[in-house]
Structures are given as structure tokens and as C-alpha cells.
Amino acid sequence: MSDRPGAVIFDCDGVLVDSETLMSVVFSGMLTELGLPYSPDDTIRTFMGRSMVSCMQIVERQLGHPAPADFLQRLDVRAGDAFARDLEAVPGVETLLDLLDVHGVPYAVASSGSHDKMQTTLGLTGLLPRLEGRITSATEVAHGKPSPDVFLLAAERLDMPADECLVIEDSLLGIEAALAAGMRVIGYAAMTDAGAMRAAGATHVVTTMDEIPALLAL
């Protein structure tokens, strides 16, 4: 891949902000308290890339009954505390955004996370001013990843044909969603096996953001 895309669409968690590890620790701890013994690695394998609605459907199927009414509220509080202490932007992503700006390539965010969560995580890492007004959440569409809806809505808001967009994703569900949208996709293999990403159809797979500019002719 060496041709410049018309636009780049970023996933948020794990691609722009280094939140997946922090969230997996918090979520696995709370699931274990519910009686579902999850490790952080188990949590990543089961839930990474899913919307919270989808995650809770899985949790409640495994529990055999609804989760406590305040579960998500307590999860938000604990995750917020962890993010406030330790959250950082993914290394190299600010340089990548700088290069996209220099070359006039528009970009946006399309995430399974809620707008409130992205306002928090992008705000804490200083990325929010660069992305304000270009953030699309799976909470706005009928179906979350692996359906293509959130990527298609992001492309529509950029006024860019889907086949001219390139997605940067760190989850297999996200890769599947991007391909279903008719978009090329770079797999960022920070927490997902690179071979699995290639098998899922990623156009290219990288392990650092520093590898991406050359792939996009920036």
C-alpha cells in the first residue's frame, strides 16, 4: 500500500488513546466481583472492539440474569479514575495526525465507545481539539461493529466515498466492520495477533504508528 487515501478513519480505544489495557483491568475486576472470573486477557479476547451494549448482552447471558442496575455507572467511575491516573495517547499518533494535516488528508474517529467516553479519553490525552466535530459513535447507528454502520456514517460525515477511506483498527471486529464498509484497513497489532489480523483481511498490519506514514505516502 503506497497510495494516499481520501480520508483516514481511526478507531479510538487502543488506536488514538492507550485505554484498552486500563479498561481490561477494571472490567475484568468487576466481572470477577459479579461471579464471572475474567482475567484482563480474557476480557480483551471476549470484548475488545464491541459496543458496551454488546458487551453487556454477553455478560448477562453468562450470568443468566441482568447485571446490577448500577453496574455501568460503577464501571464508568472506576474506569474514569484509571484513565485520569494513567491514560496517554498512543505513541506516534500525534505525529501521524500532524502529517495528515500537512498533506491535507481529512480524518475522523469511528468507535464502539460512547461520545461521553471519547470526550473523556480524548480530552485527557489532549487529542480532543483536533477531533472535535469529527467523532462518530456506535451508539448513533443501528448495529455496532462488526457491522459497517459506524464507519459508513463517519465517511458520510466526511463527505467521502467509502472506497476512498482507510481505517486504522486494533480489533478483529473492527477490521471486519471496515471491510464490510468497502474500506481498506490497517491493523494496529498492539494487543491483537498480527497473523490473525492478516487472516481477517487487513490490507496491512503494523506494530507501531511510526510505520503508517510511509504506507500512506505521507
Question: What does each of the 218 residues of the chain score in pLDDT, given as a tens digit?
Answer: 557 999 999 999 999 999 989 999 999 999 999 999 999 999 999 999 888 999 999 999 999 999 999 999 999 999 999 999 999 999 999 999 999 999 999 999 999 999 999 999 999 999 999 999 999 999 999 999 999 999 999 999 999 999 999 999 999 999 999 999 999 999 999 989 999 999 999 999 999 999 999 999 98
* Length of the chain, in residues: 218
Q: In the 8-state DSSP scheme, what is residue 112? A: S
Q: Do domains 7-19+87-215 and 20-86 have the same CATH topology?
A: no
Strand pairing partners for 168?
10, 186
Contacts (Cβ under 8 Å, ≥6 apart) of 104? none
Q: Which fold has domain 20-86?
A: DNA polymerase; domain 1 (1.10.150)
Long-range contacts of 82-85, Cβ-Cβ distance < 8 Å, separation of 24 or more: 82/22, 82/23, 82/25, 82/26, 83/19, 83/22, 83/120, 83/121, 83/124, 84/124
Whether pTM exceeds 0.75: yes
Query: What's the CATH superfamily of 7-19+87-215?
Result: HAD superfamily/HAD-like (3.40.50.1000)
Domain boundary assignment for the chain: 7-19+87-215, 20-86
